[in-house]
Amino acid sequence: MPVFEKNEFKNRLKRIKEKMDEEGIEVLLATHPANMNYVSGYDGWSFYVHQGVLIFIDRDQPVWFGREQDSNGAKITTWLNDENIIGYPDDYVQSLIKHPMDFMSDILKDLGYESSNIGVEMDNYYFTPRALNSIKENLPEAIIKDANRLIPLVRQIKSNQELKYMKMASRIVEKTMQTAIDVIDEGVREGDAAGKVYQAQISGTKEFSGDYTAIAPIMPSAERTTTAHLTWTDRKYQKGDVVLLELAGSKYKYHAPLSRTLYIGDPPEDLSDIAKVVVEGLNKTLDFIKPGVTCEEVEQKWRKSISGSKVVKESRVGYSYGLNYPPDWGEHTASLRPGDKTILKPGMTFHFMPGIWLDEFGFENSEPFYVTEKGCETFVDFPRKLFTK
């Protein structure tokens, strides 16, 4: 059974079709698993093979296509009628002589859409050059358009039910972050700490379990904190280590990311000073956020709030996020950075992430938030500070 009511899917489909009409797209091929999930409810670890959801401007339901052995998964997790779930034979899988997009093209031919304006997601992890070539070869009369951001832009505004799942994910990440801080100490192996983090993410709370997250736990220590996106190693934590923790909770693939920093021992003055500046800047910026301001204005407020300090942040300070699958929980739409004129609206969700990476160490303290009618609310209730052991 899908985790949303059918009416919610129909409302999503209506908004997507409105965007399709604006862009002159008659058929939209969604291959990103988050976009597939958003439209149909499909949820399975099958994105290592080609699959997709076809959305037609003039048909009531989309069509799911994928590997035949995954068809029952589509029947279980989606709101679609059985006749709109079409599996391809296994000899299409990783074949050198045929391609699943050949099969998809045959579906469009059978339904009379071989010469339509077709939107495809040109720049996602799950749509390959060979997939595009297959469509062009099989549907020479079709006009191919780039619709990479069409569904993600619709996904930016979350429903109350989506926000509920993100709040559930937030309860999970609170437990997960506390678990990491409790277990990390001098002499503990990094991999053992990561194991406890994974356990906390999946076991969730007493009321509900968690899901796998789109990004593995980011938890480097010592010199590895001078850069972003490193995980764990075989080494044991030592006194004097900085440990960066960028973790998440997930419920039904809706995320709550959170970053904090731990120091084992008495922190040096420069780290303490940076922590104070970043946390104060984060607090001031959150107070500023409200509907009607732009992403670049949020970043400007952050920059102004830390002016006069030694803290310099050249990369973006946040991004929209929500429903997603590996390798990223970000929506790849709005970013809190100069030049992004996206207007914040109620229901938008962002990970405000002013991570600082210097030559000697790093510091992270982030907050996921959602835009309300009057301002913004943070998802997570967890102290904003430099933690010490």
The whole-model pTM stands at 0.96
Asked if residue 47 has pLDDT above 90, the reply is yes
Contact call for residues 282 and 365 (beta carbons, < 8 A):
yes
Q: Which amino acid is at 84?
A: N
What percent of the chain lies above the pLDDT cut of 90? 97
Average pLDDT of the segment spanning 60-73? 98
pLDDT of residue 326: 98
Burial class from Cβ neighbours inside 10 Å (0-12, 13-18, 19+) for residue 382 reads middle
Of the candidates 93, 126, 155, which is a domain's last residue?
Answer: 155
Q: Which residues have a Cβ under 8 Å from the Cβ of 127 and sit 6 or more positions away? A: 31, 32, 120, 121
Nearest to 214 by CA among 257, 152, 171, 243: 257
Q: What angle do CA 62, 65, 71 make, to 5 degrees?
A: 110
Burial class, 94, CB count within 10 angstroms (exposed 0-12 / middle 13-18 / buried 19+): exposed
Quick one: 230 and 133 in the same domain?
no
The predicted-structure confidence for 151-166, as pLDDT tens digits, reads as follows 999 999 999 999 999 9
Among residues 118, 137, 155, the one where a domain terminates is: 155
Q: Indicate if 120 and 164 belong to the same structural domain.
A: no
Residues 321 and 173 in one domain: yes
What confidence score (pLDDT) does residue 309 get? 87
The total number of structural domains in the chain stands at 2
Per the structure, the complete domain to which residue 255 belongs is given by: 160-388
Q: In terms of domains, do 187 and 133 share one?
A: no
- Report the alpha-carbon distance of residue 257 to residue 369 in Å, rounded: 10
Check pLDDT > 90 for residue 11: yes
Q: Confidence class of residue 310 from pLDDT cuts 50, 70 and 90?
A: confident
pLDDT digits (tens, 9 = 90+) for 232-270: 999 999 999 999 999 999 999 999 999 999 999 999 999
Q: Tell whether 203 and 101 lie within a shared domain.
A: no
Is residue 256 included in any domain, yes or no?
yes
Same domain, 363 and 300: yes
- For residue 313, is it within any domain? yes
Establish if 286 belongs to a structural domain.
Answer: yes
> Same structural domain for residues 139 and 231?
no
- Please indicate, yes or no, whether residues 167 and 212 belong to a single structural domain of this protein: yes
Last residue of a domain, one of 155, 175, 197: 155
Task: Identify the pLDDT of residue 311.
Answer: 86
Co-location of 266 and 309 in the same domain:
yes
Please give the distance of CA 197 from its chain centroid, rounded to a whole number.
19
Q: Distances from the Cα of 148 to the Cαs of 28, 126, 269, 351, in angstroms?
A: 10, 11, 46, 21
Specify whether 125 is located in the same domain as 164. Answer: no
The verdict on residue 1 lying in a domain is no
- Rounded to whole angstroms, how far apart are CA atoms 5 and 2? 7
Tell me, yes or no, whether 37 and 12 share the same domain.
Answer: yes
CATH number for 299 = 3.90.230.10
Instruction: Answer whether 181's CB lies under 8 Å from 386's CB.
Output: no
Q: Read off the CATH number of the domain in which 40 is found.
A: 3.40.350.10
> Above 90 in pLDDT, residue 2?
no
186 and 297 both lie in a single domain? yes
Identity of residue 130? R
What's the pLDDT at 268? 96
